[in-house]
Structure 1
Amino acid sequence: MTASTPGHRSEPTHRLEPGHARRPTIHDVARDAGISKTSVSRYFGHERALLSESMVQRIEAAIERLGFAPDRLASGLRGRRTGLIGMVVADIRNPYTVDMLHGAELACREHGYSLLVCNTDNSDQLERRHLEVLHGYSIEGLVVNTRGRNVASLAARREAGLPMVLVDRHIDGLDCDMVGLDNEQAVTLGVSHLRDQGYQRLLMVTEPTDGISSRKARVEVFRHQAHAAGLSAEVQQSPQERIDPDWLAATLMQWLRAGGRPGAIVCANGVITLAVCHALWALLKTPFEQVGVLGIDELSWCALVGPGITTVAQPVDDIGYGAITTLLNRIRGAPGKAEITTYTARLHARGSTTLKTT
């Protein structure tokens, strides 16, 4: 690992003067940070792991001061169409993300574009780094499906004229198009199905809703529709993004022990559905005979588990495809205010919501 130089000054004195006409270079970043050009090159290449954390911080501070953006394309491409679209996602392992990416890549391919995908792993710092990298590739537009905590970075790029589309989640303070599920229609469809099946007590399980518009919308619609149908409704939010199996088991056991009227669990997305099924199999001998389960998101295994898991399926592939076509319209100069495009969900009724009577 490359170490920092002992006794190095804490405040570099080299600066590009305001209004300086010359584009800042890697050499300028190295001089400002007080390190070698080789180290800066490693930062932008595939050898960042060789740098110490303090060196990475110095480089990032210099980049911000100088307004530096690496141009990874040949100089002949400057000012011309690159055919590149960037996409930043929160968790590439999420089945929703996988299907959405498939639709987006298909749309790019059909329209002669290539898709550059960056996974933030739900890290705000990593998202900022990815945005810098994508900017260096001179992308023509950007698709965003993240936690929405880097509003300033995204807004700056939007104000600079970069076409941008949000997927699934609206971000306050960001004026751009959004493409996603009609959450009101989807959740209403699920609650109505459970009511018609005879369930009277419902529990929704979700990840934290703070800052995630789609999660908030699903919770709000769930409560409203359950109340309107005369059903008991409870919502449990995971204390963290990654579901803790112990927390989930304790939460479900407490709700199950409350007993009484027939109950069903509404899983806010596919990740929750999988976690809930794991927990129920551990807690109950015959889980789907003792409690109903409905998941938002259709996953390939849902038809294979037990009697089959009932799902409210969103057309994720179409959402990804639609996000790209919306972005391409903006790239081509389509005028008008930011718009929201929503897709309707379909119910796949299976045995997990067939109420067992004794």
Structure 2
Amino acid sequence: MGRDEKTSKHATIAMVAEKAGVSTTTVSRYLNEKYEYMSLKTRKKIKHVIEELNYRPSNIARGLKSKKTNLIGVVVADIENPFSSMMMKGVNDVCKTRHYHMLILNTDNSQKSENDGIRSLIDHNVDALLINPTGYTSPIYTKLKESRLPIVLIDRQIEHFLFDSVTSNNYDVTYQATNYLIQNNYSRIYFVTENIDSISTRSQRKKAVEDALRAKHLPQEHILLTIDRANTLAIKEQLIKLKRTNQNEKMALFAVNGQVLLLLLQLLYQLRWSIPAEIGIYGYDDWGWGELIRPGITVIQQDPYGMGTKAAELLIDRLEGKRTGRPELFELPANLLIRGSTE
């Protein structure tokens, strides 16, 4: 029998113990990084045998014994959004560094999918949950709080403050951006979004735009332009109507997120409207192309990767008992990048 036949497919903890000349208990303690009363010589010997046999311990079996699986359940509201991809990379990088694995579930902004997904991840014995919530109020969050399972919310929040949350300073930076446009003599600003529903980031950004307009005694009624991204013809009709209504006003569009911003830019190009001569535009997010599109697009630049790393660190610290106490809200600062689209 060749060496390869004695590798990970057949190697067992008993084989490692026998070849290293120690007990299976000692090997188990080594695998779980419990090195108390274990000499450096023994540790090196076990490490050498594990590598020689190409032994890979079963995380499932270890989890059954220790009640710990080293699995982090991650619930994402909209994995199609590039913002979510960057956020998940941050989570994954921390998980790898701290020896955890991710189970990712996408809900497509559906409350039912969110509830079902959370239950499914719990059935898979995850050690903790990191949730990018749909925002809907659900009894499941109260039950999760009672279960004492470590949980951190990322980007969006829920109605009741039950868990550590990591997000951007949505209200402050949106207010700052809108105030800049007002100072630049924009008198009509429209908030363009998909259905707000209970999504906290969208409602916070809308309130910031309204408050900035109100502070300067500008119209804040009827500023909401709710769109269906799949129906571009209807959006074009909405934009044409706005332009007719505001012929004597300096008008701008605020895009609630990067997907809406990109869609609006595509439609304005198709309508052959000049930016900013005929219409101004600004919004979230900065995915690298904002400075490439003439005359440059004014954007609010968030840090999704940083949000992911921060949320993962908080979650694992809770899981490992390094973080206790009441939940906290962490708002990572976003940056306003002013470019030609709002001149």
- How is 1:283-294 mapped onto 2 (pairs within 5 angstroms)? 283-294=271-282
Residue 319 of structure 1 and its aligned partner are, at CA, apart by 0.9
Residue range with higher mean Cα deviation, 194-203 or 85-94: 194-203
Q: What is the letter of the counterpart of residue 341 of structure 1?
A: F
Quick one: which of 209, 213, 235 aligns to 2:200? 213
The two structures have a TM-score, normalised by structure 2, of: 0.76
Gaps of 5+ in 1: 1-71
Counterpart for residue 338 of structure 1: 327
Counterpart for residue 159 of structure 2: 172
Counterpart for residue 272 of structure 1: 260
Work out the number of aligned pairs and report it: 282
Q: What is the letter of the counterpart of residue 301 of structure 1?
A: W
The two structures have a TM-score, normalised by structure 1, of: 0.73
Residue 107 of structure 1 and its aligned partner are, at CA, apart by 1.7
Q: List per-residue Cα deviations over 1:91-126 (Å, max 9, x = no partner).
A: 111121111111111121222222221111223333
Residue 219 of structure 1 and its aligned partner are, at CA, apart by 0.8
Counterpart for residue 350 of structure 1: 339
Structure 1 CA distance, aligned partners of 2:120 and 2:140?
13
3-state SS in 2 of match to 1:133:
helix
Quick one: which of 93, 102, 114 aligns to 1:106? 93
3-state SS in 2 of match to 1:266:
strand
Distance 1:285 1:213, change over 3 A: closer
Is the 8 Å Cα contact of residues 155 and 173 (structure 1) preserved in structure 2? no
Counterpart for residue 299 of structure 1: 287
Counterpart for residue 231 of structure 1: 218
3-state SS in 1 of match to 2:153:
strand
Structure 1 CA distance, aligned partners of 2:230 and 2:257?
12
Distance 1:96 1:197, change over 3 A: same
Q: List per-residue Cα deviations over 1:245-279 (Å, max 9, x = no partner).
A: 13321221121112212111111111110121122
Counterpart for residue 119 of structure 1: 106
Residue 149 of structure 1 and its aligned partner are, at CA, apart by 3.5
Residue 211 of structure 1 and its aligned partner are, at CA, apart by 1.1
Is the 8 Å Cα contact of residues 294 and 352 (structure 1) preserved in structure 2? yes
Distance 1:133 1:150, change over 3 A: farther
Counterpart for residue 77 of structure 1: 63
Structure 2 CA distance, aligned partners of 1:256 and 1:239?
16
Counterpart for residue 5 of structure 2: none
Structure 1 CA distance, aligned partners of 2:144 and 2:171?
31
Structure 2 CA distance, aligned partners of 1:162 and 1:237?
39
Counterpart for residue 151 of structure 1: 138
Q: What is the letter of the counterpart of residue 179 of structure 1?
A: V
Q: What is the letter of the counterpart of residue 198 of structure 2?
A: G
Residue 193 of structure 1 and its aligned partner are, at CA, apart by 1.9
Residue 239 of structure 1 and its aligned partner are, at CA, apart by 5.8
3-state SS in 2 of match to 1:299:
coil
CA-based RMSD of the aligned residues comes to 2.1
Is the 8 Å Cα contact of residues 60 and 69 (structure 2) preserved in structure 1? no
3-state SS in 2 of match to 1:330:
helix
Is the 8 Å Cα contact of residues 219 and 235 (structure 1) preserved in structure 2? no
Is the 8 Å Cα contact of residues 140 and 163 (structure 1) preserved in structure 2? yes
Structure 2 CA distance, aligned partners of 1:188 and 1:246?
30
- Between the two proteins, what is the percent identity of the paired residues? 29
Is the 8 Å Cα contact of residues 155 and 165 (structure 2) preserved in structure 1? yes
Q: List per-residue Cα deviations over 1:187-214 (Å, max 9, x = no partner).
A: 1221122123232221111122221112
Q: Who wins on radius of gyration, i.e. which is larger? A: 2
- How is 1:16-55 mapped onto 2 (pairs within 5 angstroms)? none
Q: What is the letter of the counterpart of residue 332 of structure 2?
A: Y
Quick one: which of 233, 241, 253 aligns to 1:254? 241
Structure 2 CA distance, aligned partners of 1:307 and 1:260?
23
Residue 236 of structure 1 and its aligned partner are, at CA, apart by 2.1
Structure 1 CA distance, aligned partners of 2:112 and 2:200?
21
Structure 2 CA distance, aligned partners of 1:191 and 1:352?
13
